[in-house]
Structure 1
Amino acid sequence: MSAVVEVLQGDGPIVLGQPHGGTHVPAPIMARLNANGQGLADADWHIARLYEGLLPSTTVVRANVHRYVIDANRDPSGASLYPGKNTTTLVPLTDFDGRAIWRDGQAPSADEIAGRRAAYHAPYHAAVQAALARAKDRHGIAILFDCHSIRSTIPYLFEGVLPVFNTGTDGGRTCAQVIEAAVHGVARQSGQSHVLNGRFKGGWTTRHYGRPDTGVHAIQMEIAQRAYMHEAAPWRWDGPRAAALRPHLKTMLDTLNTLALSGALTEGKD
């Protein structure tokens, strides 16, 4: 791995955040994971490939380390995103099924978590912040489209089967209503199952950066992995399913790009 974070710079108003696509684990940390943890099951597998080339003007910010090293989409303070619900922490102690991932006595200490936060979490978010600032300086507006995926059925985290498209805006707080409506509208018309602000309402990234009154909007798209891949190790890409899904994602991004460039979202702002 050449860098903690990778940035593919575009000249448009949209930034694609990809905090969970990385699979790199430094060898000393990998050695402390148990056999279950070393399977790295909870990555957003193939997320970079899923969005690749859909809108060439986007800037893409990718975390290269696996979320078991540190989760770049968690509050750095350690506060829960979903109080009262099962979830995983800033440095997870369990996988999405509630099973331990560390060897006995090898879970990281508070001091180690602080070190990982500085080494991995902070650089990713510095890159996201810089990308959004650059887009806003250029266009007067920036839209963070936070890209995620997850297995369709995880009883530890949610009941039943997850819809294919899970749009999150923290109840409409992280972006203009027209942005939320545009993205969810494409999901509704896709013929795929969909939900707005369901189990996944937007992670820390979406909630932290989404400040519509400042011209920075954020929206999260959590995709059920059955829509583009096989949901069991070795986590293979499914070409036909992905080919059916990608046009809907492209329409979402194209629609947001047109909306941002139209000036409608900057009218009335200084």
Structure 2
Amino acid sequence: MDAGYKVFDFSEPAAGTPAQPLLVSSPHSGAEYPDDFLASSRLDAHAIRQSEDMFVADLFADIEKSGASLLAARLPRAYLDLNRAPFELEQELFEDDLPSQFNSTSLRARAGLGTVPRLVAENTPIYDGKLAFAEAEHRINKFYKPFHTALSDKLDDLQRNFGVAILLDAHSMPSQAIRHAAGRIKQPQIDIVLGTRHGRACHMFLTEQIETFLNARGLKVARNQPYAGGYITEHYGRPVKGVHAIQIEINRAVYMDERSYRRHTGFDELSATMRALVAHIVSIPDLVAQLGGTVPEGKSAAE
């Protein structure tokens, strides 16, 4: 695969728009499937998309007008899962032995859902055979690391300039899976799941603000069940250091037809809600102080 391939899209506020301490990441919405990857897969071009967070980045289009930034993957999750640690690999997928520093014991890797996944969905293998470790190493070095460097650098920049950084890590979830979970956690309907690693990745004030806003828009919100936040939320969410990360899982049935992979009439309304959510967060009075931060000397809360 071409080493010059564009790994992600990064949108920031235009000149003249005051920047805000908020970044939205969409690590699973990439839909550019490399030809050599498709050729190596046992799945057709439709089935391979089952793990893709379709249209999620589009739901947050134009948030730069509110001063926020958007980092969206272009490569698909089936090729490389950016919401994993860099070395979560499953030995079963590879023809050669993995180096000792690679974590083959994580639950995600053992389930076939590691950094280079073996499965696209439950009991649905991506490949007929095994991969060479060199292929995984190539994907991690060329595509995973640049995405996370951009993510980390932007959060550092926001925290340095504003005293806090807010990361909304946006995802989608299959409606069938969420229906099963709804019964298990005794909530009849779930449209959105907010994952905060049970409060460890995000200040409670911000979580409550987001939940209240979404509920007021008619969306049914669960917190940390069945999704408490993946690697990005866990790794980057450091409230004591002024970085607050929250995973937003959106029920696909709210905005798309899961069989045809097409948007339905709910897309525009949900997109308006997501843009309004971002605008609401950055307009909260004394946001930095509410999150326990301090605006750096010589800086304003929005500039």
Normalised to the residue count of structure 2, the TM-score between the two structures is: 0.78
| Residue 45 (structure 1) aligns with | 54
Q: Deviations over 1:113-136 (max 9, x none)?
A: 122111111111011011112222
Amino acid at match of 2:24: L
Matched, 1:6 2:9: yes
| 227, 233, 250: which one aligns with 2:254 | 227
Structure 1 stretch displaced more, 201-210 or 52-61? 52-61
Q: Deviations over 1:72-103 (max 9, x none)?
A: 0012221577679957221111122321111x
| 89, 108, 116: which one aligns with 1:91 | 116
Structure 1 stretch displaced more, 6-15 or 195-204? 6-15
| 33, 40, 53: which one aligns with 2:41 | 33
> Would the alpha carbon gap of residues 81 and 175 (structure 1) be closer, same or farther in structure 2, given more than 3 Å must change?
farther
| Residue 20 (structure 1) aligns with | 28
- SS of alignment partner, residue 23 of structure 1: coil
| 57, 60, 71: which one aligns with 2:81 | 71
- SS of alignment partner, residue 219 of structure 1: strand
| 144, 165, 168: which one aligns with 1:145 | 168
**How many residue pairs end up in the alignment?**
265
| Residue 242 (structure 2) aligns with | 215
Q: Deviations over 1:36-71 (max 9, x none)?
A: 476322211111221112452111111110111110
Task: Answer whether contact 1:37 1:100 (CA < 8 A) is retained.
Answer: no
Residue 244 of structure 1: how far off its partner (Å): 2.6
> Would the alpha carbon gap of residues 243 and 257 (structure 1) be closer, same or farther in structure 2, given more than 3 Å must change?
same
> Would the alpha carbon gap of residues 159 and 117 (structure 1) be closer, same or farther in structure 2, given more than 3 Å must change?
farther
| Residue 71 (structure 2) aligns with | 61
| Residue 215 (structure 2) aligns with | 188
> Would the alpha carbon gap of residues 5 and 50 (structure 1) be closer, same or farther in structure 2, given more than 3 Å must change?
same
The root-mean-square deviation of aligned C-alpha atoms, in Å, is: 2.7
- SS of alignment partner, residue 259 of structure 1: coil
Structure 1 residue runs of 4 or more that deviate by more than 6 Å after TM superposition: none
Structure 1 stretch displaced more, 5-14 or 243-252? 243-252
Residue 256 of structure 1: how far off its partner (Å): 2.0
Residue 15 of structure 1: how far off its partner (Å): 0.5
| 173, 181, 200: which one aligns with 2:227 | 200
Is there any run of 5+ residues in structure 1 with no aligned partner, and where? Answer: none
Amino acid at match of 1:91: V
1:106-255 alignment, distance < 5 Å = 107-154=130-177, 163-233=190-260, 235-238=261-264, 240-255=265-280
Is there any run of 5+ residues in structure 2 with no aligned partner, and where? Answer: 14-18, 89-102, 297-303
Residue 213 of structure 1: how far off its partner (Å): 0.7
C-alpha distance in structure 2 between counterparts of 1:220 and 1:98, whole Å: 26
> Would the alpha carbon gap of residues 236 and 249 (structure 1) be closer, same or farther in structure 2, given more than 3 Å must change?
same
> Would the alpha carbon gap of residues 227 and 82 (structure 1) be closer, same or farther in structure 2, given more than 3 Å must change?
farther
Amino acid at match of 1:43: E
C-alpha distance in structure 2 between counterparts of 1:225 and 1:54, whole Å: 21
Task: Answer whether contact 2:12 2:64 (CA < 8 A) is retained.
Answer: no
Q: Which has the larger radius of gyration?
A: 2
Residue 140 of structure 1: how far off its partner (Å): 1.5
